[in-house]
Structure 1
Amino acid sequence: MVSRRRRRRPWYRTRAYRLARTAVLTVVLATAGVRCGGAHGRTVPDRAAGPAAVAPASPAPSGADGNGTDDDSRGGGGPDGGSPAGSGPRGGRSASPRPTAPPAPLPRSRATTLRIPSLGIDAPVIGVGLDADRQLGTPPADKPRLVGWYEGGPAPGESGTAVAVGHRDTRTGAAVFAALGQVEPGRPIEVRRADGRTAVYTVDKVRVFDRDRFPDEEVYGTARRPELRVITCGGLYTHRTGYSSNVVVFAHLTSTK
Protein backbone atom coordinates (compact mmCIF):
# COMPACT_ATOMS: atom_id res chain seq x y z
CA MET A 1 0.00 0.00 0.00
CA VAL A 2 1.42 3.35 -1.05
CA SER A 3 1.45 5.95 1.75
CA ARG A 4 -0.35 9.19 1.07
CA ARG A 5 1.93 12.23 0.79
CA ARG A 6 1.22 14.77 3.48
CA ARG A 7 0.28 18.13 2.08
CA ARG A 8 2.28 21.10 3.29
CA ARG A 9 0.24 23.42 5.50
CA PRO A 10 -0.21 26.98 4.15
CA TRP A 11 1.98 29.59 5.85
CA TYR A 12 -1.01 31.46 7.26
CA ARG A 13 -2.13 28.34 9.12
CA THR A 14 1.20 27.55 10.75
CA ARG A 15 1.69 27.76 14.51
CA ALA A 16 4.53 30.28 14.12
CA TYR A 17 2.28 32.65 12.19
CA ARG A 18 -0.52 32.36 14.76
CA LEU A 19 1.87 33.06 17.63
CA ALA A 20 3.34 36.09 15.86
CA ARG A 21 -0.11 37.46 15.09
CA THR A 22 -1.21 37.01 18.70
CA ALA A 23 1.89 38.82 19.98
CA VAL A 24 1.30 41.79 17.67
CA LEU A 25 -2.36 42.06 18.63
CA THR A 26 -1.43 41.88 22.31
CA VAL A 27 0.93 44.85 22.02
CA VAL A 28 -1.58 46.90 20.02
CA LEU A 29 -4.53 46.20 22.28
CA ALA A 30 -2.52 46.76 25.43
CA THR A 31 -1.94 50.44 24.71
CA ALA A 32 -4.60 51.27 27.30
CA GLY A 33 -2.10 50.37 30.02
CA VAL A 34 -1.86 51.57 33.60
CA ARG A 35 0.93 54.00 34.48
CA CYS A 36 3.78 55.75 32.71
CA GLY A 37 6.40 56.68 35.26
CA GLY A 38 10.09 57.43 35.15
CA ALA A 39 12.34 58.13 32.19
CA HIS A 40 11.62 56.77 28.78
CA GLY A 41 14.80 54.80 28.82
CA ARG A 42 16.39 56.18 25.67
CA THR A 43 19.72 57.88 25.13
CA VAL A 44 19.63 61.01 23.03
CA PRO A 45 22.58 62.86 21.48
CA ASP A 46 23.90 66.13 22.84
CA ARG A 47 23.18 69.27 20.89
CA ALA A 48 25.49 69.61 17.90
CA ALA A 49 27.65 72.66 17.22
CA GLY A 50 24.55 74.35 15.81
CA PRO A 51 21.92 74.00 13.10
CA ALA A 52 24.57 74.14 10.39
CA ALA A 53 26.26 71.02 11.77
CA VAL A 54 23.34 68.66 11.23
CA ALA A 55 23.05 66.05 8.50
CA PRO A 56 20.09 64.05 7.15
CA ALA A 57 19.18 60.95 9.15
CA SER A 58 17.13 59.38 6.37
CA PRO A 59 15.62 60.27 2.99
CA ALA A 60 12.92 62.92 3.12
CA PRO A 61 9.55 61.22 3.68
CA SER A 62 7.04 61.15 0.88
CA GLY A 63 3.36 62.02 1.15
CA ALA A 64 1.99 59.05 -0.78
CA ASP A 65 2.07 56.56 2.09
CA GLY A 66 1.24 58.81 4.99
CA ASN A 67 4.89 59.07 6.06
CA GLY A 68 5.42 62.64 5.01
CA THR A 69 3.85 65.83 3.79
CA ASP A 70 0.86 65.83 1.48
CA ASP A 71 2.05 65.69 -2.11
CA ASP A 72 -0.03 68.17 -4.11
CA SER A 73 2.39 68.24 -7.03
CA ARG A 74 1.69 64.80 -8.52
CA GLY A 75 0.85 64.89 -12.20
CA GLY A 76 2.52 65.46 -15.53
CA GLY A 77 4.15 68.51 -16.98
CA GLY A 78 7.00 70.62 -15.74
CA PRO A 79 9.22 70.21 -12.72
CA ASP A 80 6.59 71.60 -10.36
CA GLY A 81 3.97 69.04 -11.39
CA GLY A 82 1.91 71.59 -13.37
CA SER A 83 1.93 72.54 -17.02
CA PRO A 84 5.27 72.71 -18.88
CA ALA A 85 7.08 76.02 -18.59
CA GLY A 86 5.63 78.68 -20.89
CA SER A 87 2.37 76.83 -21.63
CA GLY A 88 -1.09 77.37 -20.22
CA PRO A 89 -3.70 74.89 -19.02
CA ARG A 90 -4.63 72.12 -21.42
CA GLY A 91 -7.97 70.52 -22.13
CA GLY A 92 -9.86 72.90 -19.85
CA ARG A 93 -7.86 71.93 -16.76
CA SER A 94 -6.25 74.52 -14.56
CA ALA A 95 -2.55 74.22 -13.85
CA SER A 96 -1.51 72.61 -10.57
CA PRO A 97 -0.38 75.09 -7.93
CA ARG A 98 3.30 75.42 -7.29
CA PRO A 99 4.52 73.63 -4.13
CA THR A 100 4.73 75.90 -1.12
CA ALA A 101 8.30 76.77 -0.15
CA PRO A 102 9.33 75.36 3.24
CA PRO A 103 9.44 77.96 6.03
CA ALA A 104 12.77 79.39 7.06
CA PRO A 105 14.12 77.95 10.33
CA LEU A 106 13.67 80.12 13.39
CA PRO A 107 16.45 81.38 15.69
CA ARG A 108 16.80 79.86 19.12
CA SER A 109 14.08 80.58 21.70
CA ARG A 110 12.82 78.21 24.37
CA ALA A 111 9.46 76.43 24.13
CA THR A 112 6.67 77.61 26.47
CA THR A 113 3.50 75.80 25.30
CA LEU A 114 2.74 72.75 23.16
CA ARG A 115 -0.67 72.33 21.50
CA ILE A 116 -2.14 69.41 19.55
CA PRO A 117 -5.60 70.80 18.68
CA SER A 118 -6.97 67.52 17.30
CA LEU A 119 -6.38 65.85 20.69
CA GLY A 120 -7.37 68.83 22.84
CA ILE A 121 -3.83 69.13 24.23
CA ASP A 122 -2.68 72.59 25.34
CA ALA A 123 0.14 72.12 27.84
CA PRO A 124 2.91 74.21 29.38
CA VAL A 125 6.47 73.18 28.57
CA ILE A 126 9.50 72.84 30.84
CA GLY A 127 13.09 72.05 29.89
CA VAL A 128 14.47 68.55 30.45
CA GLY A 129 17.93 67.08 30.01
CA LEU A 130 19.84 63.82 30.38
CA ASP A 131 20.45 61.97 33.61
CA ALA A 132 23.79 60.47 34.71
CA ASP A 133 23.21 57.49 32.41
CA ARG A 134 22.45 59.80 29.46
CA GLN A 135 18.80 58.81 29.52
CA LEU A 136 16.18 61.36 28.50
CA GLY A 137 14.48 62.89 31.50
CA THR A 138 10.76 63.59 31.89
CA PRO A 139 8.61 66.14 33.72
CA PRO A 140 7.99 65.43 37.44
CA ALA A 141 5.51 62.60 37.98
CA ASP A 142 3.45 64.82 40.29
CA LYS A 143 2.92 67.28 37.42
CA PRO A 144 1.39 65.01 34.75
CA ARG A 145 0.11 67.85 32.56
CA LEU A 146 3.57 69.22 31.77
CA VAL A 147 5.51 68.56 28.56
CA GLY A 148 9.30 68.28 28.66
CA TRP A 149 11.41 69.83 25.87
CA TYR A 150 14.93 68.45 25.47
CA GLU A 151 17.14 71.49 26.01
CA GLY A 152 20.21 69.80 24.53
CA GLY A 153 18.56 69.75 21.10
CA PRO A 154 17.02 72.34 18.78
CA ALA A 155 14.47 74.87 19.99
CA PRO A 156 11.02 74.99 18.33
CA GLY A 157 11.46 75.83 14.65
CA GLU A 158 15.25 75.50 14.71
CA SER A 159 16.95 73.24 12.17
CA GLY A 160 17.50 69.71 13.36
CA THR A 161 15.54 67.13 15.34
CA ALA A 162 13.80 68.57 18.41
CA VAL A 163 12.40 66.23 21.09
CA ALA A 164 9.38 66.67 23.36
CA VAL A 165 8.42 64.10 25.99
CA GLY A 166 5.56 63.63 28.42
CA HIS A 167 3.82 61.08 30.61
CA ARG A 168 0.99 58.90 29.37
CA ASP A 169 -0.44 58.36 32.83
CA THR A 170 0.61 58.38 36.47
CA ARG A 171 -0.62 56.88 39.74
CA THR A 172 -3.32 59.56 39.85
CA GLY A 173 -4.74 58.97 36.36
CA ALA A 174 -4.32 60.02 32.73
CA ALA A 175 -1.49 62.42 31.87
CA VAL A 176 -0.85 64.92 29.09
CA PHE A 177 -0.05 62.38 26.34
CA ALA A 178 -2.66 59.74 27.20
CA ALA A 179 -4.09 59.95 23.65
CA LEU A 180 -0.87 60.73 21.77
CA GLY A 181 -0.97 57.50 19.74
CA GLN A 182 -4.28 58.59 18.22
CA VAL A 183 -2.97 61.68 16.45
CA GLU A 184 -3.32 61.33 12.67
CA PRO A 185 -0.82 62.19 9.94
CA GLY A 186 -1.44 65.66 8.56
CA ARG A 187 -2.53 67.12 11.91
CA PRO A 188 -0.70 70.18 13.29
CA ILE A 189 1.40 70.44 16.43
CA GLU A 190 1.92 74.02 17.57
CA VAL A 191 4.78 75.04 19.84
CA ARG A 192 4.76 78.56 21.22
CA ARG A 193 8.13 80.13 22.02
CA ALA A 194 9.36 82.60 24.62
CA ASP A 195 9.81 85.25 21.90
CA GLY A 196 6.08 85.12 21.10
CA ARG A 197 6.42 83.22 17.81
CA THR A 198 4.86 79.80 17.17
CA ALA A 199 6.43 76.90 15.27
CA VAL A 200 3.76 74.82 13.53
CA TYR A 201 4.72 71.23 12.73
CA THR A 202 2.72 68.73 10.67
CA VAL A 203 2.54 65.09 11.74
CA ASP A 204 4.20 62.71 9.28
CA LYS A 205 3.66 59.39 11.04
CA VAL A 206 3.13 57.69 14.39
CA ARG A 207 5.10 54.60 15.40
CA VAL A 208 5.29 52.30 18.44
CA PHE A 209 8.77 50.94 19.17
CA ASP A 210 9.76 48.23 21.65
CA ARG A 211 12.18 49.70 24.19
CA ASP A 212 14.63 46.83 23.73
CA ARG A 213 14.81 47.54 19.98
CA PHE A 214 14.37 51.30 19.97
CA PRO A 215 15.79 52.80 16.70
CA ASP A 216 17.87 55.64 18.14
CA GLU A 217 19.10 56.87 14.78
CA GLU A 218 15.64 56.94 13.20
CA VAL A 219 14.13 58.82 16.13
CA TYR A 220 16.96 61.06 17.33
CA GLY A 221 19.12 61.32 14.20
CA THR A 222 19.82 64.87 13.05
CA ALA A 223 18.04 66.41 10.06
CA ARG A 224 18.64 69.37 7.79
CA ARG A 225 15.09 70.69 8.09
CA PRO A 226 13.34 71.49 11.40
CA GLU A 227 11.72 68.30 12.69
CA LEU A 228 10.02 67.23 15.91
CA ARG A 229 9.65 63.96 17.80
CA VAL A 230 6.97 63.73 20.50
CA ILE A 231 7.45 60.70 22.77
CA THR A 232 5.45 58.94 25.47
CA CYS A 233 4.98 55.43 26.87
CA GLY A 234 3.16 52.58 25.16
CA GLY A 235 2.83 48.81 24.98
CA LEU A 236 2.57 46.45 27.95
CA TYR A 237 2.96 47.60 31.55
CA THR A 238 4.43 45.76 34.55
CA HIS A 239 5.19 47.05 38.03
CA ARG A 240 8.78 45.83 37.75
CA THR A 241 9.83 47.28 34.39
CA GLY A 242 7.14 49.82 33.52
CA TYR A 243 5.94 50.14 29.92
CA SER A 244 7.49 47.94 27.25
CA SER A 245 7.32 50.42 24.35
CA ASN A 246 7.37 54.05 23.34
CA VAL A 247 4.92 55.91 21.13
CA VAL A 248 6.79 58.31 18.82
CA VAL A 249 5.17 61.01 16.68
CA PHE A 250 7.29 62.22 13.75
CA ALA A 251 6.58 65.75 12.47
CA HIS A 252 8.26 68.51 10.46
CA LEU A 253 7.96 72.30 10.41
CA THR A 254 5.41 73.60 7.90
CA SER A 255 4.79 77.18 9.02
CA THR A 256 5.56 79.81 11.63
CA LYS A 257 3.43 82.55 13.08
Structure 2
Amino acid sequence: MSASELADLAEEEEQRKRRAPWGVIALVLLTGLALIRNGSGEFDVGPPQPATAAAADSRVPGTFSGSAAPLSFSEPERVRIPAIQVDAPVMPVGLDTEGWVGAPPPEDPNLAGWFTGAVSPGEKGTAVVVGHVDNKSGPAVFYGLGALKKGNRVEVRRKDGKTAVFEIYGIEVFEKQNFPGDRVYGSKGTPELRVITCGGGFSKQNGYAGNVVAFARLVEVR
Protein backbone atom coordinates (compact mmCIF):
# COMPACT_ATOMS: atom_id res chain seq x y z
CA MET A 1 0.00 0.00 0.00
CA SER A 2 1.42 3.36 -0.97
CA ALA A 3 2.08 6.24 1.42
CA SER A 4 -0.79 8.25 -0.09
CA GLU A 5 -3.21 5.35 0.37
CA LEU A 6 -2.10 4.97 3.99
CA ALA A 7 -2.63 8.69 4.50
CA ASP A 8 -6.14 8.44 3.02
CA LEU A 9 -6.98 5.56 5.35
CA ALA A 10 -5.69 7.50 8.34
CA GLU A 11 -7.76 10.53 7.37
CA GLU A 12 -10.92 8.43 6.93
CA GLU A 13 -10.34 6.78 10.33
CA GLU A 14 -9.96 10.17 11.98
CA GLN A 15 -13.20 11.37 10.39
CA ARG A 16 -14.93 8.21 11.55
CA LYS A 17 -13.84 8.84 15.13
CA ARG A 18 -15.18 12.41 15.01
CA ARG A 19 -18.59 11.45 13.64
CA ALA A 20 -21.40 9.11 14.63
CA PRO A 21 -21.05 5.65 13.00
CA TRP A 22 -23.49 5.05 10.16
CA GLY A 23 -24.19 1.60 11.52
CA VAL A 24 -25.99 3.12 14.50
CA ILE A 25 -28.16 5.32 12.26
CA ALA A 26 -28.96 2.39 9.98
CA LEU A 27 -30.08 0.26 12.93
CA VAL A 28 -32.31 3.07 14.18
CA LEU A 29 -34.07 3.19 10.81
CA LEU A 30 -34.16 -0.58 10.27
CA THR A 31 -36.23 -0.93 13.43
CA GLY A 32 -38.96 1.02 11.68
CA LEU A 33 -38.56 4.42 13.29
CA ALA A 34 -39.41 7.44 11.15
CA LEU A 35 -36.64 9.78 10.16
CA ILE A 36 -39.00 12.75 10.26
CA ARG A 37 -42.08 12.46 12.46
CA ASN A 38 -43.97 15.70 12.00
CA GLY A 39 -45.58 15.30 8.58
CA SER A 40 -49.34 15.63 8.87
CA GLY A 41 -50.40 14.21 5.52
CA GLU A 42 -53.86 15.72 5.95
CA PHE A 43 -54.28 17.38 2.57
CA ASP A 44 -56.53 16.59 -0.38
CA VAL A 45 -53.58 15.68 -2.59
CA GLY A 46 -50.53 14.01 -1.09
CA PRO A 47 -46.92 14.71 -2.04
CA PRO A 48 -45.64 13.28 -5.34
CA GLN A 49 -44.09 9.82 -5.14
CA PRO A 50 -41.05 8.60 -7.13
CA ALA A 51 -41.70 6.67 -10.32
CA THR A 52 -40.28 3.16 -10.63
CA ALA A 53 -38.07 4.37 -13.48
CA ALA A 54 -36.39 6.82 -11.12
CA ALA A 55 -34.77 4.10 -9.01
CA ALA A 56 -31.04 4.58 -8.41
CA ASP A 57 -28.86 3.11 -11.14
CA SER A 58 -25.40 1.60 -10.87
CA ARG A 59 -23.42 4.05 -12.99
CA VAL A 60 -19.92 4.77 -11.81
CA PRO A 61 -19.00 8.41 -11.12
CA GLY A 62 -17.08 8.73 -14.39
CA THR A 63 -20.24 8.24 -16.45
CA PHE A 64 -21.95 11.33 -15.06
CA SER A 65 -22.12 14.64 -16.88
CA GLY A 66 -19.14 15.92 -14.93
CA SER A 67 -16.97 15.24 -11.93
CA ALA A 68 -15.34 17.24 -9.19
CA ALA A 69 -12.64 16.59 -6.62
CA PRO A 70 -13.74 16.23 -2.99
CA LEU A 71 -13.83 19.38 -0.90
CA SER A 72 -12.62 19.92 2.65
CA PHE A 73 -15.05 20.32 5.54
CA SER A 74 -17.38 23.31 5.53
CA GLU A 75 -20.88 23.58 6.98
CA PRO A 76 -23.73 24.07 4.49
CA GLU A 77 -25.71 27.30 4.54
CA ARG A 78 -28.37 26.88 1.85
CA VAL A 79 -29.84 24.21 -0.43
CA ARG A 80 -31.39 24.87 -3.84
CA ILE A 81 -33.24 22.35 -6.02
CA PRO A 82 -34.39 24.37 -9.06
CA ALA A 83 -36.52 21.56 -10.53
CA ILE A 84 -38.92 21.70 -7.57
CA GLN A 85 -38.45 25.38 -6.60
CA VAL A 86 -36.58 24.68 -3.38
CA ASP A 87 -34.41 27.49 -2.01
CA ALA A 88 -33.98 27.09 1.72
CA PRO A 89 -31.54 27.81 4.53
CA VAL A 90 -29.87 24.85 6.20
CA MET A 91 -29.41 24.34 9.93
CA PRO A 92 -27.33 21.62 11.66
CA VAL A 93 -29.22 18.67 13.19
CA GLY A 94 -27.95 15.72 15.17
CA LEU A 95 -29.48 12.82 17.08
CA ASP A 96 -32.11 13.51 19.70
CA THR A 97 -32.29 11.86 23.13
CA GLU A 98 -34.22 8.91 21.68
CA GLY A 99 -31.66 8.24 18.97
CA TRP A 100 -33.68 9.74 16.12
CA VAL A 101 -32.10 11.82 13.39
CA GLY A 102 -33.19 15.34 14.25
CA ALA A 103 -35.21 17.55 11.94
CA PRO A 104 -35.68 21.33 11.68
CA PRO A 105 -38.53 22.89 13.69
CA PRO A 106 -41.77 21.96 11.89
CA GLU A 107 -43.15 25.46 12.41
CA ASP A 108 -40.80 26.78 9.71
CA PRO A 109 -41.82 25.10 6.43
CA ASN A 110 -38.87 26.43 4.43
CA LEU A 111 -35.96 25.07 6.45
CA ALA A 112 -33.71 22.06 5.83
CA GLY A 113 -31.34 20.25 8.17
CA TRP A 114 -27.82 18.91 7.62
CA PHE A 115 -27.02 15.83 9.71
CA THR A 116 -23.79 16.62 11.56
CA GLY A 117 -22.98 12.96 12.13
CA ALA A 118 -22.05 12.68 8.46
CA VAL A 119 -19.64 14.53 6.19
CA SER A 120 -20.40 18.04 4.98
CA PRO A 121 -21.77 18.29 1.42
CA GLY A 122 -18.87 18.02 -1.02
CA GLU A 123 -16.56 16.02 1.24
CA LYS A 124 -15.62 12.44 0.38
CA GLY A 125 -18.43 10.28 1.74
CA THR A 126 -22.20 10.57 1.99
CA ALA A 127 -23.71 13.83 3.25
CA VAL A 128 -27.32 13.88 4.44
CA VAL A 129 -29.87 16.71 4.23
CA VAL A 130 -33.35 16.24 5.71
CA GLY A 131 -36.54 18.27 5.78
CA HIS A 132 -40.26 18.04 6.39
CA VAL A 133 -42.69 17.10 3.66
CA ASP A 134 -45.51 19.10 5.28
CA ASN A 135 -46.75 20.53 8.56
CA LYS A 136 -50.14 21.45 9.99
CA SER A 137 -50.35 24.48 7.71
CA GLY A 138 -49.53 22.81 4.40
CA PRO A 139 -46.62 21.63 2.23
CA ALA A 140 -43.09 22.09 3.57
CA VAL A 141 -39.61 22.38 2.06
CA PHE A 142 -39.28 18.88 0.53
CA TYR A 143 -42.94 18.33 -0.40
CA GLY A 144 -41.98 17.96 -4.07
CA LEU A 145 -38.95 15.70 -3.54
CA GLY A 146 -40.65 12.66 -5.07
CA ALA A 147 -41.14 14.50 -8.36
CA LEU A 148 -37.38 14.77 -9.03
CA LYS A 149 -35.89 12.98 -12.03
CA LYS A 150 -32.46 11.63 -12.83
CA GLY A 151 -30.22 14.45 -14.01
CA ASN A 152 -31.83 17.14 -11.83
CA ARG A 153 -29.37 19.18 -9.78
CA VAL A 154 -29.08 19.94 -6.06
CA GLU A 155 -26.95 22.95 -5.15
CA VAL A 156 -25.54 23.35 -1.64
CA ARG A 157 -23.91 26.66 -0.71
CA ARG A 158 -21.27 26.25 1.98
CA LYS A 159 -19.81 28.62 4.55
CA ASP A 160 -16.46 28.63 2.71
CA GLY A 161 -18.18 30.41 -0.20
CA LYS A 162 -18.20 27.35 -2.47
CA THR A 163 -21.31 25.78 -3.95
CA ALA A 164 -21.32 21.99 -4.26
CA VAL A 165 -23.49 20.88 -7.18
CA PHE A 166 -24.87 17.34 -7.11
CA GLU A 167 -26.59 15.39 -9.89
CA ILE A 168 -29.53 13.16 -9.02
CA TYR A 169 -29.02 9.55 -10.11
CA GLY A 170 -31.96 8.00 -8.29
CA ILE A 171 -35.08 8.86 -6.30
CA GLU A 172 -36.89 6.15 -4.34
CA VAL A 173 -39.33 5.61 -1.48
CA PHE A 174 -38.51 3.00 1.15
CA GLU A 175 -40.75 1.49 3.80
CA LYS A 176 -39.61 2.42 7.29
CA GLN A 177 -39.87 -1.20 8.38
CA ASN A 178 -37.35 -2.22 5.69
CA PHE A 179 -35.20 0.88 5.36
CA PRO A 180 -31.91 -0.07 3.62
CA GLY A 181 -29.58 1.93 5.85
CA ASP A 182 -26.33 0.59 4.40
CA ARG A 183 -27.43 1.33 0.85
CA VAL A 184 -28.67 4.82 1.63
CA TYR A 185 -25.92 5.99 3.96
CA GLY A 186 -22.88 3.91 3.03
CA SER A 187 -19.90 5.71 1.53
CA LYS A 188 -19.29 5.08 -2.18
CA GLY A 189 -15.75 6.46 -1.98
CA THR A 190 -16.82 9.67 -3.71
CA PRO A 191 -18.67 12.82 -2.56
CA GLU A 192 -22.38 11.97 -2.47
CA LEU A 193 -25.55 13.50 -1.09
CA ARG A 194 -28.84 12.11 0.18
CA VAL A 195 -31.89 14.35 0.51
CA ILE A 196 -34.58 12.71 2.64
CA THR A 197 -38.17 13.40 3.67
CA CYS A 198 -41.28 11.43 4.59
CA GLY A 199 -43.34 9.69 1.90
CA GLY A 200 -45.32 6.65 0.93
CA GLY A 201 -48.78 5.94 2.28
CA PHE A 202 -50.21 7.94 5.18
CA SER A 203 -52.50 7.10 8.08
CA LYS A 204 -53.53 9.21 11.06
CA GLN A 205 -52.50 6.40 13.37
CA ASN A 206 -48.99 5.76 12.03
CA GLY A 207 -48.14 8.81 9.89
CA TYR A 208 -46.15 8.28 6.71
CA ALA A 209 -45.21 4.69 5.93
CA GLY A 210 -41.87 5.47 4.32
CA ASN A 211 -39.11 7.88 3.45
CA VAL A 212 -38.38 9.42 0.05
CA VAL A 213 -34.64 9.41 -0.66
CA ALA A 214 -32.87 11.32 -3.45
CA PHE A 215 -29.45 9.90 -4.38
CA ALA A 216 -26.94 12.34 -5.88
CA ARG A 217 -23.21 12.63 -6.68
CA LEU A 218 -20.97 15.70 -6.78
CA VAL A 219 -20.44 16.86 -10.37
CA GLU A 220 -19.38 20.50 -10.05
CA VAL A 221 -18.00 23.06 -7.63
CA ARG A 222 -18.66 26.77 -8.14
Higher relative contact order (CA 8 A, sep 6+): 2
Decide which structure has the larger Cα Rg and report it: 1
Q: Which runs of 5+ in 2 are unaligned?
A: 1-14, 23-54
User: How far off is 1:152 after superposition?
Assistant: 1.2
- In structure 2, what is the Cα distance between the partners aligned to 1:135 and 1:244? 16
- TM-score normalised over the length of structure 1: 0.63
- In structure 2, what is the Cα distance between the partners aligned to 1:212 and 1:70? 29
Q: 1:131 to 1:105 in 2, by over 3 A?
A: same
- Partner-residue secondary structure (3-state), 1:118: helix
Q: Which amino acid aligns with 2:211?
A: N
| CA RMSD between the two structures | 2.6
Q: 1:48 to 1:235 in 2, by over 3 A?
A: same
Q: Tell me the alpha carbon deviations over residues 58-104 of structure 1, each in whole angstroms, 9 at most, x when there is no partner.
A: xxxxxxx962569997xxxxxxxxxxxxxxxxxxxxxxxxx877311
Q: 1:106 to 1:50 in 2, by over 3 A?
A: farther
User: How far off is 1:49 after superposition?
Assistant: 3.7
Contact 2:125–2:189 (8 Å) recurs in 1: yes
1:202 aligns with 2:167: yes
- TM-score normalised over the length of structure 2: 0.72
Q: Which residue of 2 aligns with 1:220?
A: 185
Q: 1:239 to 1:208 in 2, by over 3 A?
A: same
Match runs of 1:20-59 below 5 Å: 48-49=16-17
Q: Tell me the alpha carbon deviations over residues 217-241 of structure 1, each in whole angstroms, 9 at most, x when there is no partner.
A: 0111122100001000111222222
Contact 2:81–2:154 (8 Å) recurs in 1: yes
Q: Which amino acid aligns with 2:57?
A: N
User: How far off is 1:134 after superposition?
Assistant: 2.1
Runs of 4+ in 1 over 2 A off after TM superposition: 68-73, 99-102
Q: 1:254 to 1:69 in 2, by over 3 A?
A: farther
Q: Tell me the alpha carbon deviations over residues 112-154 of structure 1, each in whole angstroms, 9 at most, x when there is no partner.
A: 0000011111111000001123221111010111000001111
Identity %: 43
Q: Which amino acid aligns with 1:177?
A: F
- In structure 2, what is the Cα distance between the partners aligned to 1:228 and 1:148? 13
- Partner-residue secondary structure (3-state), 1:48: helix
Q: 1:235 to 1:221 in 2, by over 3 A?
A: same
1:118 aligns with 2:92: no
Q: Which runs of 5+ in 1 are unaligned?
A: 1-46, 55-64, 74-98
- In structure 2, what is the Cα distance between the partners aligned to 1:246 and 1:66? 15
More strand by percentage = 2
Q: Which residue of 2 aligns with 1:237?
A: 202
- Partner-residue secondary structure (3-state), 1:123: strand
- Match of residue 67, structure 1, among 57, 61, 64: 57
1:189 aligns with 2:157: no
Q: 1:200 to 1:147 in 2, by over 3 A?
A: same
Q: Which moved more, 1:123-132 or 1:232-241?
A: 232-241
- In structure 1, what is the Cα distance between the partners aligned to 2:208 and 2:56? 27
- In structure 2, what is the Cα distance between the partners aligned to 1:192 and 1:71? 22
Contact 1:69–1:202 (8 Å) recurs in 2: no
Q: Which residue of 2 aligns with 1:104?
A: 69
Q: Which amino acid aligns with 1:249?
A: A
- In structure 1, what is the Cα distance between the partners aligned to 2:102 and 2:120? 17
Q: Which residue of 2 aligns with 1:251?
A: 216
- In structure 1, what is the Cα distance between the partners aligned to 2:209 and 2:59? 30
- Partner-residue secondary structure (3-state), 2:16: coil
